[in-house]
Structure 1
């Protein structure tokens, strides 16, 4: 059942991505010939609204086949009025960007739904305390609840961590302990730790870990919109940063995951409830949006790059160069997919 949920989530995200391309193409007067979820052999299809809707055997992607556009052979072009090829570079960029944009919009609405359901967040309740740390020396104890720092109310562990990291000098903590309020002053210390990319970094800390206590956020209308917007921006930034670190070698290549990782993580999320599925689906949706904007000719970003060239220099990219770059793009894409799959298998047998 969990596997079916994973497949349904992945297919839905691909559908919305391709729907973005489809609607933009129709808006620009381009004839869409095929709307496919999956690659390879066709297993089901029907005709509606002037095009074929297809379900293919390999559910690892999808595509919208527009008249005059053929990634397998960029030299195949049509110059009919309803062809992709006769549209201006700006119109083509609009069509190409609409797919990734649909993923970002979908992620926003998924985060919005999570916000309406009351997302669970870590409460500012102290668990483990590092010996000889500022917290240990100042007298903080396990199960203490941080109520405020420098008279600023604290509701979540994240809020507390950000205040500590951005602090300058000593901090005044209002702490609830066994129903009584304590006031404790301490000074954070720059300490080595690891970030989400497993990099060793230095930041101001006081030497405490969370007790794992959670609570639901009760959000108003404006707070719900803010939550959805901030989460979408944070996820996009995190993925862009992760890709940059992977490319320059700051993050090892064995950290790259493939479709098996996606299916497994989505499956695990489905067992934790609908909110976890929505949260992970939103993250994958942003991931799809970001990845498709990479300037690789086999992806939307590569085609956008070609059209930007035409828009700036008022001429198309040399056909021979475009063919070579497109082939190189497919090689890069399949190499990345192969590396992700290799890493996934290593994790499974490791």
Structure 2
């Protein structure tokens, strides 16, 4: 609960920026096309704050329900329009201009994503190297003979330099094909090619971690379970743990390495663990209860301790990645395009039933990820904002009435029919669109609650 204000603040900033950018896209292009804008609102419902600005006295407002926004334009279908202003009404514009105004919102979201990625790639960030851990027995990675410490150099010939690059490429390949080839190098500088079969990634409707089902996990060094840090006021300190303690066993289970201790603690939220220790040559035991912390849609246990490490391991598994101006721009464009296309493919698979509706996420999950990314660092947070901006752009282009894509669909029908749809037809379509959105939001909110309470 102590982290709730931080998570909410991170969520509000992401949501606020994306809504403002999206609606400003509509607003700016409407003004360029000569359309009069009556109101620019962040949120829906009762107005909390408003101010009129500019030659047209546009009303800028913040409303009580913040999950969205809108730009209200002069329109003869929605109210009386003075004869001298009729030429500035939205409905009087050509189909081309109206379509441009409608598509400007999603395009603004894509443009924001490109700029955010561009900035992050130019500034550079510290990334995990694509070093693989020992895969669980029976998984595709185990059958591919992947072993602990192998570093991936390429996926189907495409160079890989970071863990995020590897993860993203494997997800794309898993959607497109049955298998892929990983070029790896081990700790003895021996190069090998591992053929990884990808069908398991899509099992259970792509629900959960697809790479985990493939057996792909990060490298786990055999560091001893010696405490190098104990957080003041945390569960570990309250239980009596001290820096230098060597954990030998948990609930009678011997602990050979730090990562074994981490896995046990993560799965023991709010459950007492009996730790057998060695402290300055003496044996002793303590009981500690891990606290639950939200992570990737579920609660994981933590006791507020860190491994004793002189920094050598961190230096060995991390690399600083930075790109020049033009290279960063090209990579930002590709990243935005690839993620947009991937989102569309996954949405299509939802319609065919290949992808579970449990993958839909609502505001609770987004807030959780916003907080997690903000805690990891500024670059992670900016990348997360770019990803959500892409998702918002893609979602709004879907041909569902009430969304921007639905209005574009009306315009396409108008071009074919050579006359607009009747108000009755559009009214029925709007009701259908609202119903579809309500069902999708209900699924997303249910999934949020399910992840929050059941993991």
TM-score range, shorter chain: 0.7 to 0.9
Which residue, out of 34, 49, 60, partners 2:39? 34
Which residue, out of 198, 205, 219, partners 2:206? 198
The whole-number CA distance in structure 1 between the counterparts of 2:347 and 2:63 is 29
Is the contact made by 1:120 and 1:214 (CA closer than 8 Å) also made in structure 2?
A: yes
- Shift, 1:231, TM fit: 1.1
Deviation per residue, 1:64-118 (Å, 9 max, x gap): 000117xxxx665757111001001111000000000000000101111211232
**Structure 1 range deviating more: 147-156 or 334-343:** 147-156
Structure number, greater radius of gyration:
2
Which residue, out of 50, 60, 63, partners 1:53? 60
Is the contact made by 1:2 and 1:271 (CA closer than 8 Å) also made in structure 2?
A: no
Which residue, out of 236, 261, 264, partners 2:368? 264
1:299 match: 403
Is the contact made by 1:67 and 1:83 (CA closer than 8 Å) also made in structure 2?
A: yes
The whole-number CA distance in structure 2 between the counterparts of 1:227 and 1:193 is 29
The whole-number CA distance in structure 1 between the counterparts of 2:404 and 2:325 is 35
Which residue, out of 100, 108, 111, partners 1:102? 108
The whole-number CA distance in structure 1 between the counterparts of 2:144 and 2:354 is 37
2:248 match: none
**Structure 1 range deviating more: 333-342 or 146-155:** 146-155
Deviation per residue, 1:296-346 (Å, 9 max, x gap): 111111111111111232111122111111111112112211221122122
The whole-number CA distance in structure 2 between the counterparts of 1:256 and 1:93 is 28
SS of aligned partner of 1:257: coil
- 1:69-84 equivalence runs, <5 A: 76=79, 78=81, 80-84=86-90
SS of aligned partner of 2:373: helix
Is the contact made by 1:134 and 1:186 (CA closer than 8 Å) also made in structure 2?
A: no
Residue 308 to residue 218, structure 1, CA distance change in 2 (3 Å):
same
The whole-number CA distance in structure 1 between the counterparts of 2:425 and 2:367 is 37
Residue 22 to residue 125, structure 1, CA distance change in 2 (3 Å):
same
Is the contact made by 1:37 and 1:55 (CA closer than 8 Å) also made in structure 2?
A: yes
Which residue, out of 4, 7, 23, partners 1:2? 7
2:444 match: 340
Is the contact made by 1:77 and 1:85 (CA closer than 8 Å) also made in structure 2?
A: no
Which residue, out of 329, 340, 344, partners 1:236? 340
Ranges in structure 2 where 5+ consecutive residues have no aligned partner: 1-5, 174-178, 221-316
Pair 1:11-2:115 in alignment = no
- Shift, 1:130, TM fit: 5.9
How many residues of Structure 1 are paired with residues of Structure 2 in the alignment?
337
Is the contact made by 1:75 and 1:319 (CA closer than 8 Å) also made in structure 2?
A: no
SS of aligned partner of 1:52: strand
- Shift, 1:348, TM fit: 1.8
Is the contact made by 2:47 and 2:62 (CA closer than 8 Å) also made in structure 1?
A: yes
Is the contact made by 1:118 and 1:219 (CA closer than 8 Å) also made in structure 2?
A: yes
2:351 match: 247
1:211 match: 219
TM-score, normalised with respect to structure 2: 0.65
Which residue, out of 55, 66, 72, partners 2:73? 66
Is the contact made by 1:68 and 1:85 (CA closer than 8 Å) also made in structure 2?
A: yes
The whole-number CA distance in structure 2 between the counterparts of 1:36 and 1:172 is 52
Greater RCO, CA 8 A, separation 6+: 1
SS of aligned partner of 1:295: coil
RMSD: 3.5
The whole-number CA distance in structure 2 between the counterparts of 1:254 and 1:207 is 22
SS of aligned partner of 2:416: helix
2:148 match: 142
The whole-number CA distance in structure 1 between the counterparts of 2:45 and 2:73 is 17
Ranges in structure 1 where 5+ consecutive residues have no aligned partner: none
Deviation per residue, 1:218-243 (Å, 9 max, x gap): 32223211221121012101211121
